[in-house]
Chain A
Amino acid sequence: MSARDTSARDSARFIRRDGPALGEAETHARLERTWATPPGLWGWLSSVDHKQVGRRYIVTAFVFFLLAGLLALAMRMQLAGPNQTLLTPDRYNQIFTMHGTTMMFLFAVPVMEAFAIYLVPLMVGTRAIAFPRLNAFSYWVYLAGGVMLWVAFILNVGPDVGWFSYVPLAGPQFGPGKRTDFWAQMVTFTEVAALAVAVEIIVTVLKQRAPGMSLNRIPLFVWGQLVTSSMVVFAMPAVMVSSSMLIMDRLIGTHFFNPAEGGDALLWQHLFWFFGHPEVYIIFLPATGFVSSILPVFARRPIFGYTALVLALFATGFLGFGLWVHHMFVTGLPHLGNSFYTAASMAIAIPSGIQIFCWLATLWDGRPRFATPLLFIIGFIVIFVLGGLSGIMLASVPIDSQVHDTYFVVAHFHYVLIGGAVFPLFGAVYYWFPKFTGRMLSERAGAWNFALFFVGFNLAFFPMHILGLIGMPRRIYSYPAGLGWDDLNLLATAGALILAAGVLVFLGNVWHSLKYGLVAGDNPWGAGTLEWATSSPPPSVNFVHIPVVTGREPLWEEPNGLAAVSGLRVDQRELLLTTVVDAEPDVREPSPMPSIWPLLSAIAVTVLFIGSIFTPWAVVWGSIPLAVGLIGWFWPKSPPDTPEPVVE
Chain B
Amino acid sequence: MRARAPMALLCIGGLAGCERVRHGVQSALDPAGHQAGRIADLWWLFLAVLAAVYALVLILLLVAAFRPRRRGRVPVGSAFPQEAPTERRLTRVLVAWAVGTTAIILTLTGFSYAVDRDILSLGHRAELTVEITAKQWWWQVKYDDPVPNRSFETANEIRLPVGVPVRVILKAQDVIHSFWVPNLHGKTDLIPGRVNETVIVANREGRFRGQCAEFCGFQHANMALDVVAVPRAEFDAWRESQLAPAVAPSDEQSQEGQRVFLTSACVMCHTIRGTTAASRVGPDLTHIATRPSLAAGTLPYSKGNLAGWIADPQRIKPGSQMPVTGLSADQLQSVLAYLDGLK
Give chain A's interface residues, CB within 8 Å of chain B. 88-90, 93, 161-162, 166, 168-169, 173-174, 259-260, 264-266, 296, 299-302, 304-305, 308, 330-332, 335, 339, 342-343, 346-347, 349-350, 353-354, 356-358, 360-361, 363-368, 375, 378-379, 381-383, 385-386, 389-390, 392-393, 395-406, 451, 454-455, 458-459, 462-463, 465-466, 469-471, 473-479, 483-484, 487-488, 491, 523, 525-526, 528, 553, 555-556, 559
Contacts and interface: CB of A to CB of B under 8 A. Distances in A.
Interface in B205-226: 209, 211-222
Contact of B64 (A347, A363, A379, A528): A363
Contact of B79 (A305, A331, A398, A556): A556
Given A301-B82, A366-B80, A382-B6, A174 B174 contact: yes
B105 A168 contact: no
Given A332-B191, A397-B116, A399-B42, A454 B79 contact: no
Contact of B188 (A330, A353, A463, A465): A330
Contact of B57 (A356, A399, A404): A356
Given A330-B186, A378-B2, A483 B98 contact: no
Contact of A174 (B36, B217, B318): B217
B29 interface: yes
A285 B333 CA distance: 64
A310 B292 CA distance: 59
A462 B14 CA distance: 10
A191 B105 CA distance: 35
Nearest to A352: B101
Given A89-B221, A401-B185, A556-B79, 10 more contacts: A161-B215, A308-B94, A342-B113, A393-B43, A401-B186, A401-B187, A458-B6, A466-B16, A473-B180, A526-B77
Given A367-B69, A471-B24, A523-B77, A168 B58 contact: no
B6 A346 contact: no
A488 B217 contact: no
B6 A386 contact: yes
A402 B79 contact: no
B284 to A, nearest CB: 24
Nearest to B76: A526
17 contacts: A296-B79, A339-B116, A363-B64, A363-B65, A364-B60, A364-B64, A397-B112, A398-B119, A399-B46, A406-B213, A454-B5, A459-B9, A470-B20, A471-B209, A475-B215, A525-B76, A528-B79
Interface in B27-71: 27-29, 35-36, 38-39, 42-43, 46-47, 50, 53-54, 57-58, 60-61, 63-65, 67, 69
Interface of B: 2-3, 5-6, 9-10, 13, 16-17, 19-21, 24-29, 35-36, 38-39, 42-43, 46-47, 50, 53-54, 57-58, 60-61, 63-65, 67, 69, 72, 74-82, 86-87, 90-91, 93-94, 97-98, 101-102, 105, 108-109, 112-113, 115-116, 119-120, 136, 170, 174-176, 178, 180, 182, 185-189, 191-194, 196-197, 209, 211-222, 318-319
A330 B116 CA distance: 13
A395 B58 CA distance: 23
* Highest count of chain B CB atoms <10 Å: which of A173, A364, A401, A459: A401
Contact of B28 (A375, A396, A470): A470
Contacts of B39: 398-399, 401-402
A473 B42 CA distance: 21
Nearest to B29: A469
A477 B298 CA distance: 13
Contacts of B79: 296, 300-302, 528, 553, 556
A471 B116 contact: no
A451 B209 CA distance: 40
A360 B60 contact: yes
A340 B102 CA distance: 16
Given A259-B193, A266-B191, A381-B61, A471 B28 contact: yes
A358 B6 contact: no
Contacts of B28: 402-403, 469-471
B221 A330 contact: no
A488 B16 contact: yes
A556 B77 CA distance: 7
B94 A358 contact: yes
B192 A343 contact: no
B112 A332 contact: no
A332 B194 contact: yes
A392 B220 contact: no
Q: Please give me the 9 A-B residue pairs with the lowest Cβ-Cβ distance, nearest first.
A: A259-B193, A401-B186, A471-B26, A484-B20, A526-B77, A476-B221, A396-B112, A364-B64, A332-B196
B186 A470 contact: no
